[in-house]
Chain A
Amino acid sequence: MWKWIQAFASPKIFYQTSEKIIPWLMMPFVVLSLLGLYWSFVVSPADYQQGDSVRIMYVHVPSAWMSLFIYVVMAVASGIGLIWQIKLAHIVANVSASIGASFTFLALATGSIWGKPMWGAWWAWDARLTSELILLFLYLAYISLNNAFDNPKTGDKACAVLAIVGLVNIPIIYYSVEWWNSLHQGSSISVTKVSMQIDMFIALMLISFAFKFLYGALMLLRARDEMLIREQNSRWVKEIIGE
């Protein structure tokens, strides 16, 4: 396994292998998105309390999950990059930041749109909302810090430290609805229990997996570009570009 990871982390092998993986991520993304939209708009019933506004949850909740998931990926990749000095790990963290920031923005924006008819306000300084906003700031800080360095090696280390330190915010976001009296509703899905109608759950899962595949494809596409830039003096890059 370790040998396979080391081989895949080699810039040239990563570039060649990822090209084959990307279509296998894009196809499920398209199929699951279409199915997810059908389930969200047609199959899923209106909620007995929220009415049709529950349909906003099918994009809001997967976006919020993605914002947390991508940050954890960034922190783990940063840790791997710092400990084992794997260039690809730093690249994965770097290219994930803007995708994560986009999903965090989407989670906040769709949550705000849902909040207006349900709570009567676009925004509340609630623990869940505030900690999610802090996550957006962490992503933006990471992107700014990454752009501030001319030398990628120095930038990678500083960004890795920021990503790892910022990881403390993830459990705060997740447990905020339990730790504080929150306006935000509690979790409807846990490992052992799903407290929602089955078609609502399917719609949520379809879009959630579609977003995961999208992230995978975008991350690989962007990592390939970053790899080309960093390895621009290597012979294999010159051969590929010269083709």
Chain B
Amino acid sequence: MDFLLFDKYSAYIWASYLLTFITVAILLINTKRTHKHTITQLRIKYARDKKYTANKQPLR
């Protein structure tokens, strides 16, 4: 595993790959979070719309 130390460039190489990993992870996590948020917001909206429509029904 000594070859993974990469001589004097070790810090630069690992910093680059770590940064790439973090960027890709943020992109993936953010996409997943946005999807969850969108679904939740739409469910809330539809529930509210349903309630509003039900309240507007004429009294019998």
Interface set of A (CB-CB < 8 Å, partner B): 37, 41-42, 51-53, 55-56, 59-60, 63, 99, 102-103, 105-106, 109-110, 113-114, 116-117, 214, 218, 221-222, 224-225, 228-229, 232, 237-238, 241-242
Contact = CB atoms under 8 A, between A and B. Distances in A.
Given A59-B20, A222-B31, A222-B34, A113 B42 contact: no
B13 A242 contact: no
A237 B45 CA distance: 12
Contacts of B35: 221, 224-225
Contact of B16 (A56, A221, A222): A56
Given A225-B35, A225-B38, A242-B46, A51 B27 contact: no
Among B4, B12, B16, B45, the most chain A Cβ lie within 10 Å of the Cβ of B16
Interface string B20-33: 10011011100100
Contacts of B13: 52-53, 55-56
A241 B12 contact: no
Given A105-B23, A117-B8, 15 more contacts: A37-B17, A41-B4, A52-B7, A52-B13, A55-B9, A63-B20, A103-B23, A113-B12, A117-B9, A218-B28, A221-B31, A222-B34, A225-B34, A232-B42, A238-B46
Contacts of B26: 102
Contacts of B20: 59, 63, 106, 110
14 contacts: A52-B7, A52-B10, A53-B9, A56-B9, A59-B16, A60-B16, A102-B23, A109-B19, A110-B16, A114-B12, A117-B9, A225-B35, A241-B39, A242-B46
